[in-house]
Every structure is written in structure tokens, then in C-alpha cells.
Chain A
């Protein structure tokens, strides 16, 4: 079976103003049909940038993209003009952390969903409105007929997030890109939205790439996880494998820092230091300066990518030659 999304050796560099930032440095990943992949990483790890490059949402003048992204066999980095507009929101759509910014404040939620549907399918306004109603029911917004006529500011945070999900899924996309959609929500509402997304994904059979910094969220939603650090993927595996047997020292540190089951008063196993600034592309393992198990060869070259099992990849010298 061929993958729905196939990203090969993606690099993204932001330039301009004399300074450049190498945000993504050789990311390769694939997502199967109907699969939920979590991109897990801290701020500046390149997870959101990877996601946005799939839809070409990065500022074109200041961004240099290398490598390839194929969706259903097509090169999406080559899409332009109308073809790109058809692609965005039609086959692939995206939800964001802040629905207040993603929704248009001067149109009702119903009008926004209907507009999207009419842009991608040749149907009447009436049919589009009834699709909008159907979508609001699907995301379980109470009294959807009334909510259709609401402006975004008339809704609570959790409700707005549901409305944005309804908008994103209104054209039945094959792939949903989710950029920390539950991070800004209250704990009880976050879990409601996660369960909703999980159910909708199962129901509609779409693929999802879910960006998060919270490993607990990844456990709730993902089939597979790619852990990112400094614009590279350090480890990939199923969520069960990653939780049970994290191989990369960074993944291990991240799991320990989650404090789940940490003993009160005991010292935390903190990863020392801070992530690199990425003004230069990494020429050796970017985690080496913070790694408790670093060896001289870690600072000499980029680490090899080893496959310890089917579908499992770890970018670490320890995997290649265990101590």
C-alpha cells in the first residue's frame, strides 16, 4: 500500500534580514490512509513548520523549501494558483490552536462553512447551508440550528474549536492537519475535543497529522509518533512502542519530564541546557550538547538512522553500536 503523504528530506530555511533560521533539517516521514500521526516536540523543533509546508502556508518570499512532499502521488510543493486553492480545504485542511484567529469575525459560522463548501463543490447555497448544519451536528454542538447564525465571538472557546473542526471537515478532506488544536483549551474541554476528533477520524476514515508538545495528548489520539528535535526527527514508532520502550535519549528525557508518576520531593531527571538556535544547519547530532550519553563521535557527524524494528526509526549512534 502506498502512503497518502510521503515527505522526503524536507528542509525549510527562513531568511531575510541577514539572519537565517534552519527550521527543518531533513525530515522524512509518511502517513498511511486512515492513520493518525503525532508530531511531538518542543517549541522551535520544527513541527508546525513541517505541517504548514504541506499546505504551502509559509511566507513564500522569506522561505526556502527543499526536498519533496507527495500527496496521493502528486508533488504538492509544485502546486500553484487554482490547483493550490482546490487542494487547500478540499483534499487537505487544517485546524489551529486559536479558533478566534482562524474564524472570520464578521461572518456567521454557518456562512463560513457554506462558503467553503460552495468553493469546492458546485452546489447551491441552500444545499451548502444544510451541509453546514449537518457538520455542526457532527461536531456535537448543542442546538445547531441556532448556532449556525452565531458569530464566532458569541461562542465559548470549546464551541469555537468545534466550529473550526466543522469548517475544516466540511469538504470531507483525506488529510487533516491539526496544529495543537487543544492546547489553549481548559482541561475538561480539551478531553472533549480530543475524543470528538478521535471519533470523527474513525467515522470519516481520514488521515491526521497532529502536532503537539504534550505526550499525554499524543497517547490519547495517535497511532504513530514522530519525535522532533531541532528540525529533525529523532525517533519514530507506534505510540505503544514509544511509551514502552523509548530508544532515543531525548525521547527518554521528554517522558521523564512529563512528571507522570514522579515521586514528590524526589529530584527530577531534567535534561540540562536548552535547544540550539538553528542559525546554522546541524552538522552533528543536535542533541549531543545536552545528551547524558554523548560520545566523541556524536559531535563528529550526523547520527545514523537505524531501524531496530519494522516501522521503527531512531537517529542515534547508540542504536548503531550499543555501549
Chain B
């Protein structure tokens, strides 16, 4: 197999979304203590979304909201307990095997050091994937050197180095290069720049922008930093306790948030103006435990607008505008919520 055959060829054409997730669920069984009762963590609970070819979908939410688990389901690192993943018009498990899927989807993690084998030089790390997939050693080496060049690490100086000989920013570049060695079309970046210092983070964001253009990539960009997500994303998906509460065009969401949780998340950003500091905390309390998520709308325990209805009935997703959907009773004229826009 040559390098150009490694990635998956386009099947569905430009209008077919690269990835469609339908009603994904991921429940983990846990026990409270050694003899405690069996319980279920509903890490991801009925999540549906799609990512168009060439776009960047930003995913935001607090810890335990299921954003990382959703990413791991997409690449098959964690088996889904329900739902469908359709990659370029082929359903995973039907037309598409997990092995094939992983040629089309790659992931970059937060911890750049833990992600690399400490006993391989960075050239070997990047060449590893192609070699395992049948590319001969000399060609794999050429791919690795070419990628090192592309990620801004001169192969003559860096190819023989080990991960501990690099800085955090350089290591994360290597992880990005390694992900690209498989010629993927979707790259999932799970807090990939969060551990970097601000000055280095900007360098890596510039690199990601260049690579997206040069390699025709689609990104799923998971981060807790709303400034970064705004900069890089075309669309934004907001998650809370295993569910999607709002999804829409990034700029529109920054202008106006339809879900009270999205609004709270945005108002929790530091003000950047010493004369206009934040005066009121956006929400009270911590996010609840996903083991026993609240009934009805999961946000009702922290929502300032919650009514009895919110505790009993799950809100349905309502479309507000072009690609903008929100799951809140207040936005659903038929819900019967006191503030529902008729």
C-alpha cells in the first residue's frame, strides 16, 4: 500500500456530512464502594450531531459533561452502549469496520508526554502508524520527515530526539504530526492546546489553521477555553451532563445564547476590563454528579428560570435558525413554560 491509499477515499460527496452521530449513548456501570449498589454513570446520553466536511466543530462544557467521552466514541476508544456513527455515508459496524474508521479519524490528547512512547524517537513515533498499516519502512520514514518539516520541527535537528528532549509545545506538534501520518480526514483535538503556555498555544493554533487548509482537514475541537474555541470553530456544540443543550454557528452563539446554561458559561468568562469586573456569579453550585442526573431538564437544579415543568419533562430540541438548535422549554412555544416565546 502506498501513502496516498492510506486514508479513506471520499464516498458521499461534498454535501454528505463527514460524521453523523445519532442518539449516541455511553453508560458505565460503577459500584459505590466494594459492596455498594450497582449504579450507572450516564456519561453520554442520547447525543446527536453532525460535522460537515472541512468545518471545525467546537465542543464546550464543564467537567463530566461528556465531551471527551463523545470524542472517544467517535474513534472507537470506548464502545458506545447505543446509537449510530455514520462516517461519510458508511455506518460503523455495517459498511465500515473499526479498523477502517481509524484510518479516517485521528485524535490528539491533552497530555503531550503521556501520548508518546518514551522509547521511540519522534521520527519513529510518526512513522509507526503507516508502518503498521503496510507502508514499507523507507516510505514511512519519508512521510515522517516530511511531516516533521510541516509541523515546524527541522528533521535534521529533531528526527532522532526522544520525547523527553522536547518542550511541551514541540511534543504537542509531534502528536499532531503523528495524527496526520495516517492521512485522516477528521482530527479530534481533545483539549490539545489546554496544557500549553499561552505564548506557545498561539503558535500551535496557527499551525492547526495551516494544516487544516493544507491537508483539507475537518476538526472536532474540544476545549474549556471559550476564547480559543471562538477563534478556531465554525460551529459550536454545548454539552451539559451527557446531553447537547445547544448547537449553532459559533459567531451567532457568541452574540446571543439561547440556552440559559450557554449564557452562564459565556458570562463566566473573565471580563478583561478592570473597570467592569464581573459582579454576580453566573450560576450557583457545582455541576451535579452524572450518576444520578436530575430529572426532566438536567440543568433545572441550577437554572434561574426553572419551573415545575422543567423538573418533570425533558425539553425537546427546537430549531431557532440556520443550524441553530436548543433544548430548552423556554424556546419551545408548545412546552407550556411561563417564559416560552409564543
Contact = CB atoms under 8 A, between A and B. Distances in A.
Nearest to A277: B167
B340 interface: no
Interface stretch (B176-184, B199-207, B322-330, B331-339): B199-207
Nearest to B60: A187
Interface in A231-245: 238-240, 243
A159 B271 contact: no
Given A239-B274, A259-B228, A264 B281 contact: no
B216 interface: no
Given A157-B286, A192-B284, A257 B202 contact: yes
Contacts of A275: 197
A155 B240 CA distance: 20
Interface string A163-195: 000000000000000000000001111111011
Contacts of B231: 259, 262, 264, 268
Interface string A252-273: 0110111110101101111110
B275 A240 contact: yes
Interface string A267-292: 11111101100000000000000100
Contacts of A188: 62, 264-265, 268, 281-283, 287
A178 B202 CA distance: 27
B270 interface: yes
A191 B199 contact: no
A220 B285 CA distance: 20
Find the residue from B167, B226, B285 having the highest chain A CB count within 10 A.
Answer: B285
Nearest to B288: A156
Nearest to A159: B286
Given A43-B197, A159-B286, A213-B198, A219 B205 contact: no
A190 B281 CA distance: 9
A191 B282 contact: yes
B227 interface: yes
A192 B199 contact: no
A274 B167 CA distance: 8
A180 to B, nearest CB: 13
A219 B197 contact: no
A271 B202 CA distance: 8
Interface residues of A, number: 47
Find the residue from B251, B264, B278, B280 having the highest chain A CB count within 10 A.
Answer: B278
A159 B62 CA distance: 16
A254 B209 CA distance: 20
Contacts of A319: none
A42 B199 contact: yes
Given A42-B198, A195-B278, A187 B271 contact: no
Nearest to B276: A219
B63 interface: yes
B338 to A, nearest CB: 24
Interface residues of B, number: 45
Nearest to A216: B270
A142 B209 CA distance: 45
Contacts of A99: none
Contacts of B205: 259, 268, 270
B272 interface: yes
B54 interface: no
A9 interface: no
B97 to A, nearest CB: 36
Contact of A158 (B167, B201, B272, B285): B285
A113 interface: no
Contact of B269 (A43, A186, A187, A189): A187
Nearest to A41: B197
B157 interface: no
Contacts of A274: 167, 169-170, 200
Interface string A142-156: 100000000000001
B308 interface: no
Nearest to A259: B227
Contact of B273 (A219, A254, A258): A219
A121 B209 CA distance: 59
B131 interface: no
Contacts of A217: 270
A257 B229 CA distance: 14
Contacts of A267: 206, 209
B102 interface: no
A217 B272 CA distance: 8
Find the residue from B63, B273, B274 having the highest chain A CB count within 10 A.
Answer: B274
Given A189-B286, A195-B278, A216 B271 contact: yes
B230 interface: yes
A115 interface: no
A319 B169 CA distance: 31
Contacts of B167: 274
Contacts of A32: none
A244 to B, nearest CB: 9
6 contacts: A187-B268, A191-B270, A192-B283, A217-B270, A240-B274, A264-B250
- Sorted nearest first, the 3 A-B pairs with minimum C-beta distance are A216-B270, A270-B202, A186-B62
Interface of B: 62-63, 167, 169-170, 197-203, 205-206, 209, 224, 226-228, 230-232, 250-251, 264-265, 268-275, 277-287
Interface of A: 42-43, 142, 156-159, 186-192, 194-195, 198, 213-217, 219-220, 238-240, 243, 253-254, 256-260, 262, 264-265, 267-272, 274-275, 290
